[in-house]
Amino acid sequence: MKVLHLPYNVASQVSVSVQGLRAIGVNSRGLIAATQGDVIQSHDGIDVLRDAPLSWSIRSARQRVGLYEKLMAAIAWADILHWHYGWFVLARGFDLFWARLLRKPGIAEFWGTDIRDAEIEAADNPYFARYVPQEYRARQTGRSSYEIQARFARAGFSCIVADNAMLAYVRRELFPKVYLVRQRVLLSEYVPSPPDPGRQRPLIVHSPSHPRLKGSEFVQAAVEKLRSKYDFEFRLVSGLPRREALAILSDADIFVDQLILGEHGVATLEAMALAKPVVCYIKPSMASQYPSDLPVISAHPENITEVLEGLITSGARRRDLGLRGRNYVEKHHDAIDIARQLKNIYQETLEKRSPTF
């Protein structure tokens, strides 16, 4: 079985998935497009496609032809495709067209903004409705979500989502069966460092990939309110290379993920893998959907000050939550265990009829 993961390395999940599959003996490759967010992602074990600058030069033309050839050759090589995120690399979605032309079986794993319907989310999440900018929500419509999903369904792809929050956006007339495959963490890359309960000046870390979507303004406002009462350090980590950001996180006593979107992401899992207590908004409809031992402390813009205060004043609680977080990730998000689940999904997909053109 030859598996190709492409084309976007969302939260390092292409890299992690490829390495997990290789660890259990699956011939797996990753080929991703370079993006502005590359600095915070891991590219270990995968190849990156560097697009040529837009120009009329012969060199630029050759680079673009080379990009097309490399991606098309990789798709032709694979027995099955695992497509992360509902976007394309080549113009007019020619990469997916090529996969369909070659009748390649595939899995489409949707990650959030690619198929999110802002109207559905706003009805279920008051903080999304109140604080997410309209220009952002305008790009996440039911129509665009359907069109993206339909392109993959026509190519004969199956569908994966990482949590139940995404199920609200999946069109079941296109994907009658949806696989739930949790986000993956390579545990060997994270040495647990639970907070010292006796630390006199705890460190709070917040590292938003999208400050407005993560509610960073409310985190910073809470920090300013608490400074007059408590002695602590706060670090806003943004744009740093991945290794530097993780080094800072490994020294944290409290990690704040996001206060708006309603479910946790991979950043929460990475912090828990390091045995750090995590603050993250989990909307009510999702609270019962996660495993019952999830130790994340839910907070939103209206109560973040009180939540942080409770953690600043209790070193024992910080340590307990950190240890529970590491256990949770080991139990539910181990990339090696999930690789076995993916392998079974690939085998099931390969047994089905190839897509029609």
| Token reading at 206 | 């917040």
Q: In this predicted structure, what is the pLDDT of residue 156? A: 95
Residues 7 and 79 reside in one and the same domain = yes
pLDDT exceeds 80 at position 169 = yes
Residues 103-130 have a mean pLDDT of 94
DSSP 12: G
pLDDT exceeds 90 at position 291 = yes
Residues 188-205 have a mean pLDDT of 96
In a domain, 291, yes or no: yes
pLDDT exceeds 50 at position 61 = yes
Q: In this predicted structure, what is the pLDDT of residue 40? A: 75
pLDDT exceeds 50 at position 16 = yes
How does pLDDT run across 326-353, given as a tens digit for each residue?
A: 999 999 999 999 999 999 999 999 988 6
Lowest mean pLDDT among 61-75, 224-238, 240-254, 281-295: 61-75
How does pLDDT run across 237-265, given as a tens digit for each residue?
A: 988 888 999 999 999 999 999 999 999 99
Q: Which residue, among 317, 239, 238, 318, has the nearest Cα to 276 in the 3D structure?
A: 318
- What is the rounded distance in angstroms from the CA atom of residue 75 to the CA atom of residue 319? 46
List the CATH number of the domain containing 141: 3.40.50.2000
Residues 6+ apart with CB under 8 A from 77: 2, 4, 29
In a domain, 357, yes or no: no
In a domain, 237, yes or no: yes
In a domain, 113, yes or no: yes
Cα angle 45, 343, 94; round to 5: 65
State how beta strands 80-84 and 47-49 pair. unpaired
Lowest mean pLDDT among 36-45, 102-111, 138-147: 36-45
pLDDT exceeds 80 at position 309 = yes
Both ends of the chain: CA-CA distance in Å?
23
Instruction: Give the number of domains in the chain.
Output: 2
pLDDT exceeds 90 at position 119 = yes
Q: In this predicted structure, what is the pLDDT of residue 65? A: 78
355: number of CA atoms within 13 Å, CB side?
Answer: 24
Q: In this predicted structure, what is the pLDDT of residue 141? A: 93
In a domain, 119, yes or no: yes
pLDDT exceeds 70 at position 56 = no
Lowest mean pLDDT among 54-63, 185-194, 226-235, 324-333: 54-63
Residues 291 and 150 reside in one and the same domain = no
Q: Where are the alpha helices (DSSP H) in 187-287?
A: 211-214, 216-227, 242-249, 266-273, 284-287
Residues 300-312 have a mean pLDDT of 98
pLDDT exceeds 50 at position 357 = no
Residues 158 and 26 reside in one and the same domain = yes
Q: Exposure of 19 by Cβ count < 10 A (0-12 exposed, 13-18 middle, 19+ buried)? A: buried
Residues 307 and 237 reside in one and the same domain = yes
Residues 124 and 107 reside in one and the same domain = yes
Percent of the chain residues past pLDDT 70, beyond the cut: 94
- What is the rounded distance in angstroms from the CA atom of residue 17 to the CA atom of residue 21? 6
Residues 240 and 124 reside in one and the same domain = no
Residues 224 and 139 reside in one and the same domain = no
Residues 143 and 220 reside in one and the same domain = no
Residues 289 and 345 reside in one and the same domain = no
Residues 177 and 312 reside in one and the same domain = no
Residues 198 and 312 reside in one and the same domain = yes
In a domain, 128, yes or no: yes
- What is the rounded distance in angstroms from the CA atom of residue 108 to the CA atom of residue 51? 23
pLDDT category, 47, cuts 50, 70, 90? very high
pLDDT category, 58, cuts 50, 70, 90? low
In a domain, 321, yes or no: yes
**In which domain, by residue range, is 28 found?**
2-184+334-351
In a domain, 356, yes or no: no
What are the Cα distances from residue 115, in Å, to 27, 86, 111, 144, 238? Answer: 29, 7, 8, 7, 26
Q: Which residue, among 321, 324, 306, 308, has the nearest Cα to 197 in the 3D structure?
A: 321
Lowest mean pLDDT among 13-27, 43-57, 101-115, 285-299: 43-57
Residues 102 and 239 reside in one and the same domain = no
164 or 313, higher pLDDT: 313
